[in-house]
């Protein structure tokens, strides 16, 4: 269940490069402030770890990195930072994987769907506009008031399909 290792020099197509990370962190800082929240060192570093990761990371994976960098070493340290990020739209929880991933489009008040590759464990955040609309419709006809939704697809990403051929 560990993410596939990549040799040095290779990086997933839709994986945020280092340049992007800085931009997103700045954006995150701004966004957090606007909500009256503080992007403290642990939180910021946690987001950075997610941004640099291939695929989603489990809380204990994040924790390990944090603890080797002088932050706390106990589970609540990671869970608190991760939950903060999720609550503020900076990360998403992937329930099927018991893991977390940085939001690819912070700032948008979006509804996302996640495409999870069974071969390389990559997680891609897709726009769920249409899916979400259909779900709203289904909920409405059941008389259900929808607050939020989890949409996760499991399959094979295009890169893995190509290499399997």
Partner DNA sequence: TATCTAACGTTATATCATAACAGTCAAGGC
Partner DNA sequence: GCCTTGACTGTTATGATATAACGTTAGATA
Give the nearest distance from C-beta 119 to Zn ion in angstroms. Answer: 4
The residue written with tokens 């040799």 in the block is 7
Spatial CA neighbour of 49 closest among 68, 65, 31: 65
Q: Which of the listed partners (Zn ion, DNA, a copy of itself, none) does 19 bind, with a CB threshold of 5 to 8 Å by partner kind?
A: none
Rounded Cα–Cα distance for residues 150 and 142 (Å): 18
Among 34, 157, 163, 165, binds a copy of itself (CB under 8 A): 157
Q: Which CB sits closer to a copy of itself, 49 or 101?
A: 101
Q: Which stretch binds DNA (CB under 7 A): 21-29, 74-82, 114-122, 135-143?
A: 74-82
Q: Is 83 exposed, middle or buried (0-12, 13-18, 19+ CB in 10 A)?
A: middle
The residue written with tokens 């929880």 in the block is 93
The site for DNA (CB under 7 A) is made up of 1, 37-38, 40-43, 58-60, 70-77, 79-81, 83-84, 98
């Amino acid at each position: 269940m560990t993410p596939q290792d990549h040799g040095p020099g290779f990086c997933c197509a839709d994986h945020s490069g280092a340049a992007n990370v800085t931009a997103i962190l700045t954006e995150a800082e701004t966004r957090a402030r606007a909500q009256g929240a503080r992007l403290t060192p642990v939180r910021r570093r946690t987001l950075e770890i997610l941004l640099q990761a291939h695929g989603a990371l489990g809380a204990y994976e994040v924790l390990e990195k944090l603890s080797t960098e002088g932050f706390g070493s106990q589970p609540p340290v990671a869970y608190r930072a991760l939950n903060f990020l999720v609550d503020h739209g900076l990360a998403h929880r992937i329930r099927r994987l018991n893991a977390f991933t940085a939001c690819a489009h912070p700032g948008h008040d979006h509804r996302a769907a996640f495409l999870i590759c069974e071969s390389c464990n990559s997680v891609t955040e897709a726009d769920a506009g249409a899916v979400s609309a259909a779900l709203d419709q289904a909920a409405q006809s059941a008389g259900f008031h929808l607050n939020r939704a989890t949409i996760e697809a499991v399959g094979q990403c295009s890169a893995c399909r190509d290499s399997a051929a």
